[in-house]
Amino acid sequence: MKKKKVNLRDLNKTSSDTHKRNDGHNHSSPESIGKFKVYVPAIFSFVMLIIGIAMDYFDVAFFKNWIRIVWYAVAYLPVGFPVIKEGWKSIKNGDFFTEFLLMSIATIGAFAIGEYPEGVAVMLFYAVGELFQSAAVKRAKGSIKALLDVRPNEALVYRNNNYVSVNPETVAIGEKVQVRVGEKIPLDGILLSEKGSFNTAALTGESKPDTIAKGEKVFAGSINLDGVIEIETTKEFKDSSIARILEMVQNATARKSKTELFIRRFARIYTPIVVFLAIALTFVPYFFVVDYVFSDWLYRALIFLVISCPCALVISIPLGYFGGLGAASKNGILFKGASFLDEMTKITTVVMDKTGTVTKGVFKIKEIKAIDWEEAEFMKYLMAMEEQSTHPIAKAIMEYKADGEDFQATEVTEVAGKGLKGTVNGKTVLVGNKALMTSNNITVPTETDNIVESIVMVSIESKFAGYVIIADELKEDAHEAIRQIRESGISKIIMLSGDKDSITQQIAKEMGIHTAKGGLLPEDKLDEVEKLKKQPDTKVAFIGDGINDAPVLAASDVGIAMGGLGSDVAIETADVIIQTDQPSKIARAIKIGRSTRRIVWQNIGLAFGVKIIVLILGAGGLATMWEAVFADVGVALLAILNAVRLQKMKWK
């Protein structure tokens, strides 16, 4: 059954180019007037209905015959005409069995047998239900539509010795862009200024400002908070972070869950059956009932039609999933479709990468051990040598801050697979691994044999001078992430990493992960996940962040990419994106998925349960049109309110 917008809500449309007045007086904006207009037909019908019922109750003398009919007809038209019009359009398009047709037949039939207040009431409550649905959808879309507000619409580009304002879509890679305080970063780029502070809430869901240093990445959609800055663009606008996120969100709303698709297919079969049953309920009793009265059985059939209208199902289920997508987006989690909200509820095994997923993927100095040297002086010898290298470990060492004048290295040569050899302050210096030391007859302390992290050894003048341990740093919420995943009921957590096995095992042990494998190539990770998937009753979620994780992300039941602003390939392949790089959001994604599914099934149970009870009562003549109104519109309203709860929940 197709769900279309009723014209009742179209009254809310206002011209997009209408300007707001700003002359110091308090004027109602066209937008607020438009929002009020949408409620006018329902308010008018409600007032007319209440007055009509009151005049019926007090038996007002003039309120008889044609005056009474005209009064209720006037009350009916503002809410009924848009629905009848939509029903007629559906028939012309070949779609006969819609809720518009059901409501039209039921209410016009009520007028035909003289039940005027009931006819108006049914259509009025249906219109109110449509308004509630519209408001609920707008609320569910709120956090998603907020992303549209951060899409930059101009860029100050340095061209011809001057900054000119242009459309971001016309800016090429490598151009210099200026961003003033309070403005949005128009394209992804590298910060040219010394530092900058940015609000990245629209991209990551985190309200805490992000401080970026010169040479680091900045992302489109971030808001510059401190001083005028300059960036050099690294991507075209269509490939920028905000453009990718918008595209993913828009695609997500179009991808339906299996439950949602089933209900829509069910409604297409269910609705015509209901119509034919109503017809049968009107005429078949003629052959079996002695005192058959046509109007009585027609009334029962009309009640049957109103009760059986599948509005609550068709409205609330998509709205439930939409609410889940909106709640996730608000928390910095992007699902690429409602189907993945369902899949998250079935996960039994979580497999995660190490580097960039639970660790920061950035080398840091963990420990410095200088033997017979002051630490600062020892580090100056080491830094003088490592200054010649571009290796990530060398970069980590160069971050060390030592007072005084730096040392300079000369005659630096690379020893393949072992390290560096050179001269610093007239002294011969070796920097590298144990193999470099032993090949130069330098005795290495046995304590280094138990160190599993990356280690840089130093000898000065043929004597072992000390070592530096370099390690990847755990993310702040890594331990919390594992705890929360276990609390969600998933006990099987596995770590697979391309890093050497000893480091992988140490990180896994530190985090309380009992199964871990290191030294794996991308195809090895893929084999491990495929083996897990073959186990009975196993659904695997894989969390990764890099290009090398793309095959496993694609093969897993749910692929989760850490770093929505990271590897393009991982983002394109994954089903769920954690925009904040926080592994603790994995458990939150599971909770949102489960809550969404629970609310959807609550709505299904509520709709079917109430409808079946009132259908039986209606067919037996024990339910009136008022019970029918509750069974249809009342249940729809309750289901909508239940779905809206997803937007109000606090996720931890």
Do the bridges between strand 515-517 and strand 333-335 make them parallel or antiparallel, or are there none, so unpaired? Answer: unpaired
Q: How far apart are CA 229 and CA 177, in angstroms?
A: 8
Do the bridges between strand 162-166 and strand 155-159 make them parallel or antiparallel, or are there none, so unpaired? Answer: antiparallel
Q: How far apart are CA 440 and CA 281, in angstroms?
A: 100
Q: How far apart are CA 202 and CA 501, in angstroms?
A: 38
Q: How far apart are CA 145 and CA 71, in angstroms?
A: 42
Unique residue bearing structure tokens 């003048």: 461
Tell me phi and psi for residue 386, to 5 degrees. Answer: -70, -15
Pull the structure tokens for residue 571.
């983002």
Walk across the sheet containing 576-578 and list its strands: 333-335, 576-578, 558-562, 540-544, 349-352, 492-496, 515-517
Residue 161, sorted as left (phi over 0), alpha (psi -120 to 50) or beta, turns out to be left
Count of helix runs (H) and strand runs (E) in the chain: 23, 22
Q: How far apart are CA 547 and CA 575, in angstroms?
A: 15
Please report the beta strands in 359-453, taking only residues with DSSP state E, as ranges in sequence order: 359-370, 409-415, 419-424, 427-432
Cβ atoms within 10 A of the Cβ of 183, count?
Answer: 16
Q: How far apart are CA 35 and CA 408, in angstroms?
A: 72
Unique residue bearing structure tokens 């003088």: 384
Q: Which of 349, 334, 579, 354 is nearest to 478 (CA)?
A: 354
Tell me phi and psi for residue 96, to 5 degrees. Answer: -80, -35
Q: How far apart are CA 312 and CA 265, in angstroms?
A: 15
Measured CA distances, 478 to 217, 312, 360 (Å): 23, 42, 10
Q: How far apart are CA 406 and CA 79, in angstroms?
A: 82
Known catalytic residue at 527: no
Active-site pick, 188, 210, 342, 353:
353
Do the bridges between strand 492-496 and strand 515-517 make them parallel or antiparallel, or are there none, so unpaired? Answer: parallel
- Residues annotated catalytic, as ranges: 353
